[in-house]
Structure 1
Amino acid sequence: MPVGAQLLEGGRIRFRLWAPLAERVEVSLEEPGGTVHLPMEAREAGWYELSTDRARVGDLYRYRIDGVGEFPDPASRYNPLGVHGPSQLLDPGQFVWNDRNWRGRPWEEAVLYELHVGAFTPQGTFAAVRGRLDYLRELGVTAIQLLPVAAFAGAHNWGYDGVLPFAPAASYGHPDELKDLIQTAHHKGLMVLLDLACHYFGPEGNYLHLYAPAFFATDATGLAGRSIDAANPVVREFIIHNALYWLAEFHFDGLRLNAALLQEQAGQPDLLEALAHAVREGPGRERHCHLLLGHDRRAARYIHWHDHSVPRRYEAVWNDTAQQAVQEVLIGAGVAAVDRPLERLGACLSRGITAGGPDSLLPSAFVTFLQDHACIGNRALGERLHQLVSPRPLGAMVATTLLAPMPPALFMGEEFAATQPFLYFCDFNPDLIKKIAINRRKSFAHLPGFRTPKARARIPDPTHPATFARCQLDWNSVNHSPHADWLDFYRRLLAVRHRQITTRLAGMHEEAVQFTLPGEHGLSIRWTLGDDSVLTLLGNYGDLPLAGLQRPEGVVLWAEPGEAEHALNQGQLPPWSVVWLLRAAG
């Protein structure tokens, strides 16, 4: 790492910090007899450096700027006392990896499971997630995607307000416990990906802006936090090494990057391009390192493929357009209204993003999901989809997305219809808490049902500890109906996907997809898979029967509900039903 504290051969420690506004920088090292201040040498372009044999692994340290403030290392590997406390020197080589034979899994096998470490279990730790890995494997998941884990202010947060991008949050556990979670997942055949929120620093605990304001693109303060200046060469190097750090030092199998890193300035080198190149030439040379992007229509140019098997830059983009179309089909009024939602859904399932980019990309280039942390958390009361939709329409849509060729993603608890909401929560200092609670409730004032102060008072206070506690999954419910029934439903669908579809995806061609809209609420899509077999979806997403259908050739893989197969043989589909068929090659 070109920044932070690095253990050198012979046991010496090298400290390196970019502080262009500072005139003097020291390392404040906590020793048994008190704190000692070790001066750092000024280098070119605002860099300060010190190599010393006085510091030892396990020591706590801060940076002292101009003899006044003492701040944690912005590239700290661990801050055991929180983001306002000192950083701790670690030797990353002390953890003994035993997953050296792991090379990851091909992207076509991906079934993602997005989870928040703090809310996934009552314990809210890396170790507790590790204890649930067998459950995830038996569910049919192949890739866990962690919401951001970089250190943030307070005890709980969504993770997007991180301020120490290299340090796993101390409330989740020691960095070695995260490593143990990842290598245990590998032994069970599971990939682990990380949502990397490196484009933004939260509103509390960001000391970097005091001595390196050029790191950030704006002077926004208060609740807004600060966005990085991705055009600054120092910042770009910091972001690229942050990505390499999580892949190399923690053995993550991939990263999801925010579309905010997209650069459009004329003549500006492309950060996402440079990051992908560094990954492909680094850890990606020896194993699968999957790079994903958050939804953005401009992202399509990053996911072109060389030869239908090896990605040129990024494997896939999370397809918010498909998710919005699903919401509109199911409940008729999503957060962002979608015109002709069923047509839009068909286009997304056959071509991915439907406007502003290429019309033909591989289905595997788009992650499809019914709900994620943002979709649920951006609702005033944090309701999950099963709390807004009756079981039959929801079952039809689950069967649609889990068997489609695009990699599906689940949000934690979705598979057993968890009753716990996923609300917006945070734990900032008292000066921020009141403002955040007020702003949260004001943001829903334009919506029906929340236009009066009394109605908005029902919206949970994101800063109250009980709000976070309400979001932690209740695993005892999994053994009881209806939760056990939903879990069985998801497991059986994913078993069909792995057995009948996953092995046929490699080698697909983007042009080998057709979709039509029979009737007012019908959808028919046909994909020619990589082995030249043909996968067909026929669905009725309305409250009335759909007639006049012709049964496609092939064996029925799934009918939801069960009587839909018999009805299709008669040229019909009952309300809210889907049938999947597979015709073998030749």
Structure 2
Amino acid sequence: MADLQPVTWAHGATRVGDNLTRFALWAPDAENVRVVFDDGEQLVMIRQAEGWFTAEAACDAGTTYRYQINNDLTVPDPASRAQQSDVHSASVVVDHATYPWRHAQWQGRPWHEAVIYEVHVGLMGGFEGVARQLPRLAALGITAIELMPIAEFPGDRNWGYDGVLPYAPEHSYGTPDQLKALIDTAHEHGLMVILDVVYNHFGPDGNFLNSYAKGFFREDKHTPWGAAIDFRRPQVRDFFIDNALMWLLDYRFDGLRFDAVHAIEDPDFLQEMARRIRKAIPAGRHVWLNLENEHNEAHLLQEGYDAQWNDDGHNALHVLLTGETEAYYEDYAQDTTAKLARCLGEGFVYQGHTNRHGVARGEPSGHLNPTSFVLFLQNHDQIGNRAFGERLSQLSPEPALRAATTLLLASPMIPLMFMGDEWGAAEPFQFFTSFHGELAEAVRNGRRSEFKSFSAFQDPERRDKIPDPNAESTFKHSRPAFDDFEKHQRGPWVELYVHLLSMRRRDLMPRLPGSRSLGVTILADKAVSARWQLGDGSTWQIDLNLSEQAVAAELPFDRYWLFDSRGPNARFDEAGKLPAYTALVSLIPRAPLEAIS
């Protein structure tokens, strides 16, 4: 296939022939640059126009090298394809043409078939550890796994959002070929693989760009992580767009999730990236592009992007399930049921509405297909940003969580779950890093001071109990009990997931293209009835009650019910009432039953 051929990218070391590698570094502030090989040889790079330095050398894949700037500073390649060990070690030449793909004809799956399972590769045992979980995930009904960021970061433990070498897979997770083998195995099981990429900032340790390419950043604009990346410059744009294309073409990822694009200070970079990706992908191949975007910019979902993570939906459901209303949940504390209804009927809750800071946020989204939104009850952020990383299994009544899970997996929106959700994992997911020295102390103190404004952490002694991100125990305590899955798979949570995902695959997925909302009725506090017209003209209905009391509801005739979150033997004690902590899923065919039987 054409897209399996190696590509010569603008940045970094790429193979351009047998035993020939091209090195390219954008270093507009450097006077001279050398490639310094670990065997002691050095190669002077030739200054080109617009700040580029290039050189070609006869060297094989596996060759280790660094760049020396102005006969002084020695740095790794910012577009390194692999590192010898950590971010401060030598970079490694990689030949992407040598991996023997077993499923080279894989074309992916259409977006409406997505059922996404988010994982942290390190906690699952590296690329090979993730691969071992794929058969059971496919059997469960998952159709895509989403890897938290894998770009090379400092140390061996990190969420991945402190990456500094975005082209290099994290060495502690495995080699580039082991990553390809993971993707190859996923395709063998009919699973797509999505990668979370971070293009809004670099991590705090191991990034030397400011020493020789100050133009990478703009001091007039700042993000929570420091000076904003300057996407006005074509060399900077190419650095990130080529990175996205590398993952999609050289590694054959099926999609990308772009982290916190609201922190990208450029009005049209995202549109250009989507255009160039769509142009580069061969016709017939399915590639998914998803956004995390606090600005709720609905127009981007009609300009090359398939969907956005719907934090609004999560936040409203979290308030209803837990009663928590501090920090960003304050925006969902009032009229929470109405906010959930708006989410189910129109996508975003905030569509130009004013938030707690008095700022209007978002754009109208009711015209978009339900599959333009990724819905979730938990993800790495929403668990890990809690002081102790508790999951909903510790925060919500179990029947209510079962009802909300039914909504998640039966909604026409695209469902996403976090690793361990399928058995109601009790293990926390905490924030962890492996920094050292002053940076470690700053991160530890910053993590604890982050919760000063929360009522539960006014006492400094309680704040001191927040886990140290740099302690290895914090990482170990965050690992779900994958080894005990034989025990879990006979439990009620796995049974719930299997039944719901089977129903979704059988009754909803084929009808999803062309679906649209028919409106949402508020039944009572914490209770709604949502209806969608599916692509074949049938009606899909979810009646949800997250309250402790039964509520009046006009329920469909029982022969159309597909699923009751309480179980197959649940009873209705009051006619015309939706029981407490219940979700019912119904399919009302377009034609009478006799006509389709």
TM class by smaller structure:
over 0.9
**Which one of the candidate residues 396, 401, 416 is aligned to 1:394?**
401
Q: Closer, same or farther in 2 for the Cα pair 1:485/1:562, shift >3 Å?
A: closer
1:18 aligned partner = 26
Amino acid at match of 2:131: R
Structure 1 position 403 matched with structure 2 position 410: yes
Q: How far apart in 1 are the matches of 2:176 and 2:529?
A: 48
Q: How far apart in 2 are the matches of 1:184 and 1:482?
A: 22
Counterparts of 1:462-473 in structure 2 under 5 Å? 462-473=469-480
Q: Closer, same or farther in 2 for the Cα pair 1:563/1:17, shift >3 Å?
A: closer
* 1:478/1:484 contact within 8 Å kept: no
Q: Deviations over 1:131-156 (max 9, x none)?
A: 11001101111010100000000001
**Normalised TM-score (structure 2):** 0.91
Q: How far apart in 2 are the matches of 1:245 and 1:261?
A: 23
2:161 aligned partner = 160
RMSD (CA atoms):
2.1
Length, aligned pairs only: 567
* 1:552/1:581 contact within 8 Å kept: no
Structure 1 position 6 matched with structure 2 position 1: no
Amino acid at match of 1:21: D
1:537 Cα offset (Å): 1.1
2:294 aligned partner = 296
Q: How far apart in 2 are the matches of 1:373 and 1:134?
A: 23
2:594 aligned partner = none
1:463 Cα offset (Å): 0.9
Q: How far apart in 2 are the matches of 1:502 and 1:419?
A: 30
**Which one of the candidate residues 487, 490, 498 is aligned to 1:480?**
487
**Which one of the candidate residues 14, 25, 35 is aligned to 1:27?**
35
Counterparts of 1:301-450 in structure 2 under 5 Å? 301-304=299-302, 312-334=303-325, 335=327, 336-337=329-330, 338=332, 339-354=334-349, 355-356=351-352, 357-358=363-364, 359-450=366-457
Other structure's SS at 1:217 match: strand
* 2:341/2:520 contact within 8 Å kept: yes
Q: Deviations over 1:379-435 (max 9, x none)?
A: 000000111112111111111111011110000111111121111110113120111
* 2:159/2:433 contact within 8 Å kept: yes
Q: Closer, same or farther in 2 for the Cα pair 1:550/1:114, shift >3 Å?
A: closer
Q: Closer, same or farther in 2 for the Cα pair 1:365/1:553, shift >3 Å?
A: farther
* 1:223/1:436 contact within 8 Å kept: no
2:78 aligned partner = 74
1:104 aligned partner = 108
Deviates more, 1:316-325 or 1:327-336: 327-336
2:175 aligned partner = 174
* 2:255/2:289 contact within 8 Å kept: yes
Q: How far apart in 2 are the matches of 1:550 and 1:46?
A: 68
Counterparts of 1:25-104 in structure 2 under 5 Å? 25-31=33-39, 35-53=40-58, 55-104=59-108
Q: Closer, same or farther in 2 for the Cα pair 1:137/1:482, shift >3 Å?
A: closer
Q: How far apart in 2 are the matches of 1:519 and 1:395?
A: 19
Q: Deviations over 1:54-111 (max 9, x none)?
A: x322110000001101110011100021110000111111111121221100111000
* 1:19/1:46 contact within 8 Å kept: yes
Q: How far apart in 2 are the matches of 1:531 and 1:579?
A: 21
1:519 aligned partner = 524
Structure 2 residue runs of 5 or longer lacking an equivalent are 1-8, 353-362, 592-597
Structure 1 residue runs of 5 or longer lacking an equivalent are 305-311
Q: Closer, same or farther in 2 for the Cα pair 1:160/1:220, shift >3 Å?
A: farther
* 1:79/1:167 contact within 8 Å kept: yes
1:220 Cα offset (Å): 10
Q: Closer, same or farther in 2 for the Cα pair 1:127/1:219, shift >3 Å?
A: farther
Other structure's SS at 1:297 match: coil
2:541 aligned partner = 536
1:478 Cα offset (Å): 2.8
Deviates more, 1:545-554 or 1:144-153: 545-554
Q: How far apart in 1 are the matches of 2:148 and 2:287?
A: 17
Other structure's SS at 2:53 match: strand
Amino acid at match of 1:85: S
1:484 Cα offset (Å): 2.6
* 2:221/2:265 contact within 8 Å kept: no
1:562 Cα offset (Å): 3.7
Q: Closer, same or farther in 2 for the Cα pair 1:502/1:423, shift >3 Å?
A: same
Q: Deviations over 1:527-573 (max 9, x none)?
A: 11001111111122211111353535861110121489752982111
Percent sequence identity over matched residues?
Answer: 38
* 1:113/1:145 contact within 8 Å kept: yes
Q: How far apart in 2 are the matches of 1:188 and 1:482?
A: 19
Q: Closer, same or farther in 2 for the Cα pair 1:195/1:517, shift >3 Å?
A: same
Q: Deviations over 1:294-340 (max 9, x none)?
A: 03334310112xxxxxxx51110000000000001111114422021
Q: How far apart in 1 are the matches of 2:256 and 2:205?
A: 25
Amino acid at match of 2:314: Q
Q: How far apart in 2 are the matches of 1:340 and 1:363?
A: 22
1:506 aligned partner = 513
Other structure's SS at 1:518 match: strand
Q: How far apart in 1 are the matches of 2:48 and 2:71?
A: 18
**Which one of the candidate residues 266, 272, 275 is aligned to 1:274?**
272
Deviates more, 1:185-194 or 1:350-359: 350-359
Other structure's SS at 1:136 match: helix
Other structure's SS at 2:507 match: helix
* 1:230/1:261 contact within 8 Å kept: no
**Which one of the candidate residues 572, 575, 578 is aligned to 1:570?**
575
Q: How far apart in 2 are the matches of 1:94 and 1:503?
A: 38
Q: How far apart in 2 are the matches of 1:130 and 1:85?
A: 27
Q: How far apart in 1 are the matches of 2:483 and 2:410?
A: 28
1:198 aligned partner = 199
Q: Closer, same or farther in 2 for the Cα pair 1:130/1:263, shift >3 Å?
A: closer
Deviates more, 1:222-231 or 1:535-544: 222-231
1:309 aligned partner = none
Q: How far apart in 2 are the matches of 1:160 and 1:100?
A: 30
Counterparts of 1:118-267 in structure 2 under 5 Å? 118-119=122-123, 121=124, 124-218=125-219, 224=225, 227-260=228-261
Q: How far apart in 2 are the matches of 1:92 and 1:204?
A: 28
Q: How far apart in 2 are the matches of 1:221 and 1:556?
A: 52
Q: How far apart in 1 are the matches of 2:394 and 2:66?
A: 48
Q: How far apart in 1 are the matches of 2:574 and 2:547?
A: 19
Q: Closer, same or farther in 2 for the Cα pair 1:5/1:521, shift >3 Å?
A: closer
